Structure 1
Amino acid sequence: MSNPDPRAGRLLLRRTVLTERRSLILASALQIGHQAGEAAVPLLIGVIIDRAVGTGDTGALFLWLGVLLATFAFLSTSGRFGIRVGIGASVEATRKLRVEVARRALDSRGNSEGQLPGATVSIATGDVRILTAVLYQLVQGLAAAVGAMVAAAVLLSVSVPLGGLILVGTPLLLLAVRAISSPIEHRSAAQREQAARAAGVATDLVRGVRVIKGLRAERAGSARYRQISRVAMDASVHSARTEAGFSAAVIALNGGFLALVALLGGHLAVNGDITVGQLVSAVGLAQFLLEPLGTFGTVIAVVASGRASATRVAALLDAPPAVTGGSSRPSSALGGLSLEDVHGPGLEGVSLEVKPGELLGILTTSPEAGTTLRRYLGRELDPVQGSLHLDGLRLSDLEPEALREVVLVCPHEPDLFTGTLAGNVLAGSPAGAALDRVLAAANADQVAETLPDGLESAVAERGRSLSGGQRQRVALARALLRDPSVLVLHDPTTAVDTVTESSIATGLRELRAGRTTVLITSSPALLAGADRVVLVHDGTIAAEGPHTRLMAEHDLYSGTVLA
């Protein structure tokens, strides 16, 4: 993702907050009530000591104990519902943003940034979660600020010297804790990095387990994982020791600070400047202040991370489409294609006519030219120069989604999905489609026969449970079952053997009779079955004609095919 704009991230973060403002206001009010109740507890305990315990007044004791219990009930209820509403707002914002990201990722006009699927998933999951975590932290930060102000006002009303010590000393204490937490951050980062490496190696080994077994490299794989996991374990132990030392240091600092508060408070109490109850209240409020002041650091860190993630999310959402314009729908489905002086990566002015119902083979001496043709025909990109037409209409004038209802383009590496073999073949196909004929034409029926449950056999993520040739045949069957007016296949049989490839070529020709089919391939079997073959060399058409004649008369063509 190139040069994301931080301002766009801030605007997205602000928009997300404003979208959930009603829930956030309610959550903030409830959490403020919780913090105010927490701050009132030490004060009430001091009042009970001074007005009930110190005087021996039983009635006053029960009265103030009732007030204390009511305060606990109020702060508990406010806190519980405040957390529920605040987290609910964050979850709802997460859902909305993920839907928005998914809608942008699935936009038929594509994304000019060329975002990889893994990066898009990372943004939709990790970055959106970090961004929306800001909402709940803003609620916590506002409540902590109000709680700190209430506690500070109470402390100063009890004793100016004691309140001043606590208000000055608490931030200094937090700064000290922050300073000694730096080693934890560095060592924790190192530990996470080593753990991620170990997980990456483990994933690598699991994905390549068949290759490892085929090479008899089980011991080498085990030794590799053992080494990296040992390093990860050492980093984890080192990080745990640092965290233990940090916890001990924090306990010591807190204890020393509270001892200092108790010493000053005791001195003031002995001199009669404050009562015993006020001393207890001051110590309790000092301890309470550590929580809201500590919350500020968390809020700052989360907001900083949220802004960075918001920038990434905004860059994805605001990325311009790969193709622009086009709102018409194809007026017919004859399947006639034409290219007029088309330029692009690997193409330097290609002009070509494909008649309706023709089976055309395209052989390119440059892989880049084949990929560009495939992307132009599927309108993943528009040509740098020149134009493409479908039945006389410019492809750039057609709405991409409407175009793809007529023109189906299958890439060289098609994706299969978790589910069954039948589910992958039938995906997106009309009901009552001729499944048996299609499976036979693509030789996918042989794939089903080799699996234990036939068409109901499970297919792993991205078809990893199948071989490369099996995946290609299943994907080809899926494309044939759609029976589009125009079918563009890019190297559909590179992973199958020659005999199977010849069978597929025959089945493809029979099944697609009367329908326009474009084969971008170097397969001799597929090219031999084509009505006509076009050779693209150095970005232009160098020859065209039947496969047999070109093999006999054109050295560049025959050399490219045989290579």
Structure 2
Amino acid sequence: MRTRGRDGPGVLGRAIRGQWRLVAAGSVLAAGHQAGEALVPVLVGVIIDRAVGPGDGGELLRWCLVLAGVHTALSLCFRYGIRFGERSAELAGHAVRMELTARVLHPRGGAGTGRLPGELTNVATSDAQRVGRVTMAVSAALAALTGLVVSAVALLRVSLPLGLLVLVGVPVLLGLTHLLGRPLQRRSAAEQERAAHASGVAADLVAGLRVLKGVGAEPAAVARYRHTSRGALTATVRAARAEAWHDGAVLAMTGLVIALVALAGGRLAARGQISVGELVAAVGLAQFLLGPLQVLAWANAELAQGRASAARVASVLTAPWGVGSGGLAPAGPVPGRVRFRAVHHDALHGVDFEAAPGELLGVVATDQAATGDLLRCLTRDTDPRAGTVELDGVPLTSLDPAWLHGAVLVAAHDADLFEGTVRENIAGTADPGRGLDAVLAASGADEVCRSLPDGAATHLTERGRSLSGGQRQRVALARALAADPPVLVLHDPTTAVDPVTEARVAHGLRAFRAGRTTILLTGSPTLLAVTDRVVLLDRGTVTDQAPHAELVTRRHDYRTAVLA
């Protein structure tokens, strides 16, 4: 269901209204520039009739000073009008990006469903920029219309037929220009859609490059991207052709209008109905008309592309929510009792288990799909089709998602690091509540810091790629521990570290999280050995739960899942 004002036209309207002061100032100044440009040929005609023809030097000087003043004013108007226009475009695009970011990061989710990350990036960059440029197109269009009106009035004063020719021809030209912009809008939308998909595929391939090389799937990946890239290229070429046809047709029609005005003015001068100066003014105004008409053609093309991009922005903003809103945000402390009650969702079939407050609970799933569904239910990326997930006896669906994300932290297996220092990645600019040294020791990240040239102040590259896989995992684990939430869910936090380090992390994790609920979704026997209890999920159903040592002794399927 669409939200009023959040469809394509609503997005454009908000972008313009949000910068109305800059748009208004830019429009007024740009209109002053266009009016000044239109007055220049009129003044030249006046100079010819009143000074050059009679040979009056004083009159020539006075009118030349007037002409210089008009040139100075229109130059200043152009300079500051462009400045306001560019500023409004940048700020409007930034506002759209912030709105998109808020929607994508909203705790209720849903904006990224069915979209690759690269697609969202394309919408937040290219489409947001095109929407922002509509504000500048509006200012330019209003200024061009002002120039046309001033030209028409000047031509009416020179000759009624010439003025009427402009007043009739320009609206017809504008209507045809709008019609010519429709194919450009359709093809621009297709171009942006294909470009976004290609960006998404490229981002996925780069992120999984090591895996692709490991399984020898580079040829298939290259073929896939080549196919996607060719589709994007085809859409881009089609959009470019549409823009070329649009601009060429508008230029031809504009030239026809100008030629008709010049021809009519010449015939009037030949009959003696207008003076030489008026003929010069009429021809100059006819030539001037090319400028505002070209600006209108450019503005129409920008509006066509902006409408297409606004529709794509609106599709993200109005995407269905991933989960319900909830509204409860308990004010007291969170004991941290997590309960799955007969949960059915995709690979989960009647899952029922509980993590007691302060317990370190292990969860082993023989099916990785079940692990993924458990994580999605705990993060409320989705709500189970049947059954409930509870926190301290309250269904998660009743809780405010923003509050829930502060109470239950799910640290994914493939958590990314950010460009910045190790300290900033772990706890920002301040130490965590239990001290940075304690966090580093519990996660094994202290060894990482000792191996780096500047310790915790070492600057990391994008996504932490300057670290090894095991180092990234330990820093990511330190970040999760530094948050110190009432409930912490960890998914395979030590798959890339050596056995000795893993054993140290296991004991450090247990000590650090003492008194806080921690759920470990892992198949690591080292981590499971320090848990209080392990829940075994086989084919999406809880088949047993007991301490790790007991399950190893009595269950063959558990030994296969953990020790194999």
CA contact (8 A) 1:5 1:311 kept: no
Q: Does 1:514 align with 2:539?
A: no
Moved more, 132-141 or 195-204: 195-204
Tell me the amino acid that sits aligned with residue 40 of structure 2. V
Where do 5+ consecutive residues of structure 2 fail to align?
216-242
CA contact (8 A) 2:325 2:400 kept: no
Report the Cα offset of residue 136 of structure 1.
1.7
Question: Which residue does 2:296 correspond to in 1?
Answer: 296
1:207-226 counterparts in 2 under 5 A?
Answer: none
Report the Cα offset of residue 168 of structure 1.
8.6
Question: Which residue does 1:436 correspond to in 2?
Answer: 437
CA offset digits 1:513-548 (Å, max 9, x no partner): 333211101112212222211111222101222223
Task: Give distance in 2, aligned partners of 1:256 and 1:390.
Answer: 74
CA contact (8 A) 2:445 2:475 kept: yes
Question: Which residue does 2:50 correspond to in 1?
Answer: 51
Identity of matched residues, %: 49
CA contact (8 A) 1:27 1:86 kept: yes
1:261-300 counterparts in 2 under 5 A?
Answer: 268-300=268-300
Question: Which residue does 1:76 correspond to in 2?
Answer: 75
CA offset digits 1:330-350 (Å, max 9, x no partner): 633322222111121211111
Q: Relative to structure 1, is the Cα distance of residues 327 and 200 closer, same or farther in structure 2, using a 3 angstrom cutoff? A: closer
Where do 5+ consecutive residues of structure 1 fail to align?
216-242
CA contact (8 A) 2:432 2:482 kept: no
Moved more, 396-405 or 340-349: 396-405
Task: Give distance in 2, aligned partners of 1:412 and 1:77.
Answer: 58
Q: Relative to structure 1, is the Cα distance of residues 48 and 495 closer, same or farther in structure 2, using a 3 angstrom cutoff? A: same
CA contact (8 A) 1:4 1:311 kept: no
1:39-438 counterparts in 2 under 5 A?
Answer: 39-111=38-110, 113-114=112-113, 116-159=116-159, 268-321=268-321, 322-329=323-330, 331-427=332-428, 431=432, 433-438=434-439
Report the Cα offset of residue 161 of structure 1.
6.4
| SS of corresponding position for 1:517 | strand
Question: Which residue does 1:501 correspond to in 2?
Answer: 502
CA offset digits 1:396-418 (Å, max 9, x no partner): 33323333333221011112111
CA offset digits 1:38-77 (Å, max 9, x no partner): 1111111011101110011223222322332232233333
| SS of corresponding position for 1:45 | helix
1:459-474 counterparts in 2 under 5 A?
Answer: 459-474=460-475
Moved more, 103-112 or 511-520: 103-112
Report the Cα offset of residue 490 of structure 1.
0.8
CA offset digits 1:244-272 (Å, max 9, x no partner): xx999999999999889767755654443
Q: Relative to structure 1, is the Cα distance of residues 113 and 194 closer, same or farther in structure 2, using a 3 angstrom cutoff? A: closer
CA contact (8 A) 2:26 2:82 kept: yes
Task: Give distance in 1, aligned partners of 2:308 and 2:193.
Answer: 20
Moved more, 41-50 or 52-61: 52-61
Task: Give distance in 1, aligned partners of 2:310 and 2:13.
Answer: 10
Question: Which residue does 1:542 correspond to in 2?
Answer: 543
Task: Give distance in 2, aligned partners of 1:440 and 1:25.
Answer: 59
Task: Give distance in 2, aligned partners of 1:203 and 1:102.
Answer: 18
Task: Give distance in 2, aligned partners of 1:193 and 1:386.
Answer: 38
| SS of corresponding position for 1:552 | helix
TM-score in terms of structure 2 length: 0.81
CA contact (8 A) 2:4 2:10 kept: no
Question: Which residue does 2:240 correspond to in 1?
Answer: none
CA offset digits 1:215-253 (Å, max 9, x no partner): 9xxxxxxxxxxxxxxxxxxxxxxxxxxx9xx99999999
CA contact (8 A) 2:423 2:457 kept: yes
Report the Cα offset of residue 12 of structure 1.
2.5
CA contact (8 A) 1:87 1:136 kept: yes
Question: Which residue does 1:233 correspond to in 2?
Answer: none
Task: Give distance in 1, aligned partners of 2:478 and 2:107.
Answer: 23
Task: Give distance in 1, aligned partners of 2:314 and 2:193.
Answer: 27
| SS of corresponding position for 1:542 | strand
Q: Relative to structure 1, is the Cα distance of residues 486 and 210 closer, same or farther in structure 2, using a 3 angstrom cutoff? A: closer
Task: Give distance in 2, aligned partners of 1:102 and 1:22.
Answer: 25
Q: Relative to structure 1, is the Cα distance of residues 354 and 431 closer, same or farther in structure 2, using a 3 angstrom cutoff? A: closer
Task: Give distance in 1, aligned partners of 2:135 and 2:302.
Answer: 10
Task: Give distance in 2, aligned partners of 1:342 and 1:400.
Answer: 19
CA contact (8 A) 1:323 1:379 kept: no
Question: Which residue does 1:558 correspond to in 2?
Answer: 559
| SS of corresponding position for 2:390 | strand
CA contact (8 A) 1:420 1:457 kept: yes
CA offset digits 1:262-285 (Å, max 9, x no partner): 677556544433322122112211
Task: Give distance in 2, aligned partners of 1:271 and 1:148.
Answer: 26
Task: Give distance in 2, aligned partners of 1:198 and 1:358.
Answer: 46
Tell me the amino acid that sits aligned with residue 376 of structure 1. C
Tell me the amino acid that sits aligned with residue 83 of structure 1. I
CA contact (8 A) 1:427 1:478 kept: no
Report the Cα offset of residue 138 of structure 1.
1.2
Report the Cα offset of residue 164 of structure 1.
7.3
Task: Give distance in 2, aligned partners of 1:137 and 1:154.
Answer: 26
Q: Relative to structure 1, is the Cα distance of residues 35 and 365 closer, same or farther in structure 2, using a 3 angstrom cutoff? A: same
Moved more, 255-264 or 519-528: 255-264
Q: Relative to structure 1, is the Cα distance of residues 460 and 541 closer, same or farther in structure 2, using a 3 angstrom cutoff? A: same
CA offset digits 1:299-327 (Å, max 9, x no partner): 21111221222222233333343342132
Task: Give distance in 1, aligned partners of 2:121 and 2:457.
Answer: 29
Task: Give distance in 1, aligned partners of 2:562 and 2:351.
Answer: 20
Report the Cα offset of residue 471 of structure 1.
0.8
Q: Relative to structure 1, is the Cα distance of residues 319 and 255 closer, same or farther in structure 2, using a 3 angstrom cutoff? A: closer
Report the Cα offset of residue 200 of structure 1.
11
Q: Relative to structure 1, is the Cα distance of residues 272 and 405 closer, same or farther in structure 2, using a 3 angstrom cutoff? A: closer
Moved more, 253-262 or 416-425: 253-262
RMSD value over aligned CA atoms? 5.0
CA contact (8 A) 2:34 2:146 kept: yes
Tell me the amino acid that sits aligned with residue 154 of structure 1. A
Report the Cα offset of residue 510 of structure 1.
2.8
TM-score in terms of structure 1 length: 0.81
Moved more, 395-404 or 354-363: 395-404
Task: Give distance in 2, aligned partners of 1:158 and 1:417.
Answer: 67
Report the Cα offset of residue 146 of structure 1.
2.5
